[in-house]
Structure 1
Amino acid sequence: MRDGFESRETWPFECLRCLYVWEEDYLVRHVTDDHGNEVQIWLSAGVTVQPPWSGMACPACGAYHLTSFPAHYLSRHPELTAAPDPPPLPKAPVGPAGDAEPSIASPAFRMPLPRRMLIALGVPVIAFAGYELYRYVLAPIGHH
Structure 2
Amino acid sequence: MRDGFESRESWPFECLRCLYVWEEDYLVRHLADEHGNEVEIWLSCGVPVQPPWSGTSCPACGAYHLTSFPSGYLARHPELLAAPEPRALAKVPILPIKDIEPPAGRPPLQRRLLIALGLPLAAFAGYELYQYVVAPAIHHH
Same-fold call, TM cutoff 0.5: yes
Range of TM-score over shorter length? 0.5 to 0.7
Deviation track 1:85-125 (CA, whole Å, cap 9, x = no partner) reads 111334575xxxxxxxxx49xxxxxxxxxxxxxxxxxxxxx
Partner of 2:2: 2
Deviating above 6 A after TM superposition, structure 1's stretches of 4 or more consecutive aligned residues are none
Gaps of 5+ in 1: 94-102, 105-126, 140-144
* Structure showing greater Rg: 2
Cα distance between partner residues in 2 of 1:3 and 1:90: 51
- Identify the residue that residue 53 of structure 2 maps to in structure 1: 53
Letter in 2 for 1:65: H
**Partner in structure 1 of residue 74 of structure 2:** 74
Tell me how far apart the structure 2 counterparts of residues 81 and 73 of structure 1 sit (CA, whole Å): 11
DSSP-derived class of the 2:3 partner: coil
TM-score by length of 1: 0.62
Please identify which structure carries the higher helix content.
Answer: 2
Which one-letter code corresponds to 2:80 in the other structure?
Answer: L
What's the CA shift for 1:37? Answer: 1.2
TM-score, normalised to structure 2, is: 0.64
1:62 equivalent in structure 2: 62
Match of 2:22 in 1: 22
Q: Name the Cα RMSD after superposition.
A: 2.6
Partner of 1:38: 38
Q: How many residues align?
A: 103
Between 1:33-42 and 1:69-78, the stretch displaced more is: 33-42
Distance in 2, Cα, partners of 1:6 & 1:89: 39
| C-alpha separation in 1, matches of 2:33 and 2:14 | 34
What letter matches 2:12 in structure 1? P
SS of 1:59's partner is: coil
Instruction: Report the 3-state secondary structure (helix = DSSP H, G, I; strand = E; otherwise coil) of the residue aligned with 2:28.
Output: strand
Change (3 A) 1:5 1:15: same
**Structure 2: which 5+ residue stretches go unaligned?**
96-116, 130-141
SS where residue 4 of structure 1 aligns?
strand
